[in-house]
Amino acid sequence: MDLNNTHVKMAWNHSALKFLFLLGFACLLHENVSAQRWKTMRYEAQYGIGAGNFLGDLGGANQIGTHYFKDFEWVETRPAICVGLRYKLTEFFALKSALTFGQMRGDDKLTDYPFRHYRNLSFKSNILEFATQFEASFYREQLGHRYRLRGIKGQKGFELYSYGFLGLGAFYFNPQGQDKNGNWVSLQPLGTEGQGLVPTRQKYNRVQLCIPIGIGFKYTINQKWGIGIEYGLRYTFTDYIDDVSTTYFRADKLKSAYGKILGDQAAYVSNKSDGSSPAITSAGQQRGDPRYTDSYMFLMISLNHKIKTGRNNLPKF
């Protein structure tokens, strides 16, 4: 027996086992570090531009109002902007709070449906919304390599991440209509459907709650930057974003309640039909559809910036 050769083999085997152990430990450590890397950048700032649109009583398709997407009017789409901050709870779930500003419009002149076209009402309203939404994805977001290097497996620099969201928010709105001179006037103070003039109709609050629901997609460019697109529908608890909900109110009572100037203004913006069929717009006749509340939507394209987290788990701006 060659003792020297035996000792060499035993030493080699011991070294090999030690090397394999260290290699396995290094791999596990690397995987653990990679798995925890998202915690160092839990915050993400969002800067978005996009568009908003409205589903309500005014305007819409050439049919009876439905409050569904087939009543959508493309030409009333208006620009919108937002700024937000996302916080990752886990690799799959996140919370995002955002401040969004946009404008909603509706115009009966855009529909050929006889009764809606004859009603001839229109509105615009700025929307200022603050909402927090819970986001959920079915897979991890790739944080991306520092640079967009090709051929680096598992460290791609351009990754798609999709999620669904549901939230709660509050928004301010102020519907306006045009008077005889074409000036835009606030409609809520005028009580166009008799709000504030009869006990059964109180003036609506211009601050309301909404429930955002929708989907989003994000592309990771590198470790810090990405772009995204997000669509969200806002269900609300008011039918007065367009100032139209129930029935016509007596013009003479509006005039007597608000005086000469405001009274004439209130009577005009409450009924802008041409008067050829007065029975359709007489007091008590249908002006809107109170069975459904109004909705609005935003489509946003965003630039996203990941913010490194400090030891106190707060973002380091």
Residue 29 has pLDDT above 60, yes or no: no
Nearest to 121 by CA among 105, 136, 109: 109
Q: Give me the pLDDT at residue 26, please.
A: 40
Q: Give me the pLDDT at residue 31, please.
A: 38
Same domain, 203 and 126: yes
Total domains present in the chain = 2
Q: Give me the pLDDT at residue 18, please.
A: 57
pLDDT band at 246; cut points 50, 70, 90: very high
Residue 161 has pLDDT above 60, yes or no: yes
Same domain, 70 and 129: yes
Residue 179 sits at φ, ψ, to 5 deg, of: -85, -170
Per the model's pLDDT, the better-predicted residue between 14 and 278 turns out to be 278
> Which segment of 71-75, 166-170, 268-272 scores lowest on mean pLDDT?
71-75
Residue 24 has pLDDT above 50, yes or no: no
Structural domain includes residue 133: yes
| CA 245 to each of CA 78, 307, 312: distance values in angstroms, whole numbers, following the listed order | 23, 45, 50
Q: What percent of the chain has pLDDT over 70?
A: 77
Alpha-carbon 102 to chain mean position? 10
132: how many CB neighbours lie within 10 A of its CB?
Answer: 13
The mean pLDDT of 267-276, rounded to a whole number, is 94
Q: Give me the pLDDT at residue 139, please.
A: 79
Structural domain includes residue 316: no
Same domain, 36 and 67: no
Q: Are 67 and 235 in contact (CB under 8 A)?
A: no
Same domain, 302 and 267: yes
Structural domain includes residue 108: yes
Same domain, 136 and 7: no
Q: Give me the pLDDT at residue 25, please.
A: 43
Same domain, 8 and 112: no
- In sequence order, what E strands does 23-121 have? 43-55, 78-88, 93-107
Q: Give me the pLDDT at residue 38, please.
A: 62
Angle at 183 between CA 177 and CA 184, to 5 degrees: 35
The mean pLDDT of 62-80, rounded to a whole number, is 75
Residue 279 has pLDDT above 50, yes or no: yes
Per the model's pLDDT, the better-predicted residue between 156 and 242 turns out to be 242
The encoded tokens of residue 28 equal 């596990």
Beta-strand relationship, 184-186 and 78-88: unpaired
Same domain, 37 and 48: no
Q: Give me the pLDDT at residue 197, please.
A: 94
Structural domain includes residue 28: yes
CATH number of the domain that residue 284 is part of: 2.40.160.20
pLDDT band at 166; cut points 50, 70, 90: very high
| Distance of alpha carbon 85 from alpha carbon 263, whole angstroms | 46
Structural domain includes residue 314: no
Q: Give me the pLDDT at residue 160, please.
A: 83
> Any residues with CB less than 8 A from the CB of 257 and at least 6 apart, and which?
191, 197, 263, 266
Structural domain includes residue 317: no
Q: Give me the pLDDT at residue 44, please.
A: 94
Q: What is the DSSP letter of 286?
A: B
Same domain, 293 and 196: yes
Same domain, 195 and 283: yes
- Which range of residues forms the domain containing residue 255? 42-307
The mean pLDDT of 180-204, rounded to a whole number, is 95
